[in-house]
Structure 1
């Protein structure tokens, strides 16, 4: 076999699992930019490996991407210790197909990614591989270079931690979309009464400006306070953009309905929602740090599994 033919086969094998690799990396890291970087690093390792010894390319590539992602997470977490204000994951655009799959949508939701931030890198990787991608404990042990017993313990700790902080409700996607659309209209019209109806009494708004743009450095809590916050959006200048120049559009972000805010020349923020059992908005995540808007600005809709 000639070298070009071998290279083509290597590329095809890698491309076959590229969506899986990005999907794992993004959930482990919480940022699209870092996920893309480790996917590229995985390609370099794959290209330089002796693939005649690789019996299972999927398992081999999963091991590479998992370890690269854990290594990158350890490094980025040290930087996050000095982050200004709340740190939120980097939003990504997702298609309606992702939103139609409740389990896939939930696994990439802002709310879950925020909870995953509180796990250790090992626990986070094990949780993602076990709970999202249904890898066996033995397969995960091979991927993360740990004993199967250690993986079982990490999986148990991670699952209990997530369940305690992220109650799971039956997701009514049509209801969520309807509430988001009504919230969107009420915000544009400054309709505080409707906003109050749509918000849970103990609703919390988290804003991430990263010290790059002005945002609340602590969570904004309470139905009335959050309602007033959004009622004022259409009346105030934001990041130097007059209200008449600001555009907002409903779209799919991280597996659910969300809003992208745009100025004349740039994306300025995204807004995503979490809902309580009654279908009211319980949490809002507002990302305005320009360093985290690259994926949305590029308009890339990520395929996630």
Structure 2
């Protein structure tokens, strides 16, 4: 038993990171880890040649099951659904944190469960196609095809997802914050793409548009309408989550929402504004 616990603890951070980055939910990742640990403690260790591969497969399978059920649940979700953000404190080199931005998490939502798993396991966690095939019970060739489809989908999206856009992202976050502080959002119009979008995840816990707003002028009209009603709180702090600058919006010293920006591929304008208002998705931040 002691040996089994030590082995599990060795891979605990990696397994949690896999579960979170597939599921985009801290609570679900923690539940999956607990289930996997219980299953692991039932095993005969003498029959397991590669504990990391065995544990990873358990985590991946449960994560895919969650995604399949979550996709059904999200059809009935009230308003836009945005991945739950998380501040990672670990510097463990196994978790591939340096390869993930919050914008990438958002884009991964567009992939099928298998595409998402293959993309993450290959591009973030550096598993081989042979290892991924064993995780998913598919051939290495099928893994390569899934990765190709996933990469094309990521490339074809209208948001820059790599961490090289951090400096540009910071510039636009600063501009956004300055516009709020000055009480004049009009200058933002020139920095939004014509077909810019804004998604606000309130989860029916806080008031928010039921659908993603499209077009720069419509977004500015909405923001100008809600700004006098403390939509942007009484304090704003610029921070960073998953290598991406963001705006922590507070009301009476309590976190009220988080604002992220998705830049266009050229990193010259804002393509998508993401605002997380749902308190259930903010409780693990700060």
Pick the TM interval, shorter chain.
0.7 to 0.9
Residues 148-297 of structure 1 mapped to structure 2, 5 A cutoff = 148-165=140-157, 168=160, 171-231=164-224, 234-238=227-231, 246-264=234-252, 266-276=254-264, 277-296=266-285
TM-score relative to the length of structure 2? 0.86
Stretch deviating more after TM superposition (272-281 or 132-141): 272-281
Q: For the residues of structure 1 that align with 2:71 and 2:161, how far apart are their CA atoms?
A: 30
Query: Counterpart of 1:75?
Result: 69
Could you list the per-position Cα deviations for residues 13-72 of structure 1 after superposition, in whole angstroms to 9, with x for gaps in the alignment? 222222221221122112222112112222222222222222222212211111111111
Instruction: Tell me: CA distance 1:81–1:187, structure 2 relative to 1, closer, same or farther (3 Å).
Output: same
Q: Alignment RMSD, CA only? A: 2.7
- The count of corresponding residues between Structure 1 and Structure 2 is 281
Q: For the residues of structure 2 that align with 1:119 and 1:175, how far apart are their CA atoms?
A: 26
TM-score relative to the length of structure 1? 0.81
Secondary structure at the counterpart of residue 245 of structure 2: strand
Instruction: Tell me: CA distance 1:166–1:223, structure 2 relative to 1, closer, same or farther (3 Å).
Output: closer
- Decide whether the 8 Å contact of 1:94 with 1:255 is kept in 2: no
Deviation at 1:140, TM superposition (A): 0.6
Instruction: Tell me: CA distance 1:70–1:172, structure 2 relative to 1, closer, same or farther (3 Å).
Output: closer
The equivalent position to 1:118 in structure 2, one of 90, 101, 110, is 110
- Decide whether the 8 Å contact of 2:261 with 2:273 is kept in 1: yes
Q: For the residues of structure 2 that align with 1:260 and 1:280, how far apart are their CA atoms?
A: 21
Q: Which runs of 5+ in 2 are unaligned?
A: none
Q: Which runs of 5+ in 1 are unaligned?
A: 1-5, 300-305
Q: For the residues of structure 1 that align with 2:7 and 2:66, how far apart are their CA atoms?
A: 24
Secondary structure at the counterpart of residue 295 of structure 1: coil
Query: Counterpart of 2:138?
Result: 146
Instruction: Tell me: CA distance 1:76–1:281, structure 2 relative to 1, closer, same or farther (3 Å).
Output: same
- Decide whether the 8 Å contact of 1:116 with 1:162 is kept in 2: yes
Instruction: Tell me: CA distance 1:107–1:53, structure 2 relative to 1, closer, same or farther (3 Å).
Output: same
Q: For the residues of structure 1 that align with 2:274 and 2:262, how far apart are their CA atoms?
A: 8
- Decide whether the 8 Å contact of 2:158 with 2:271 is kept in 1: no
- Decide whether the 8 Å contact of 2:206 with 2:278 is kept in 1: yes
Q: For the residues of structure 2 that align with 1:229 and 1:106, how far apart are their CA atoms?
A: 34
Stretch deviating more after TM superposition (275-284 or 126-135): 275-284
Query: Counterpart of 1:303?
Result: none
Deviation at 1:137, TM superposition (A): 1.1
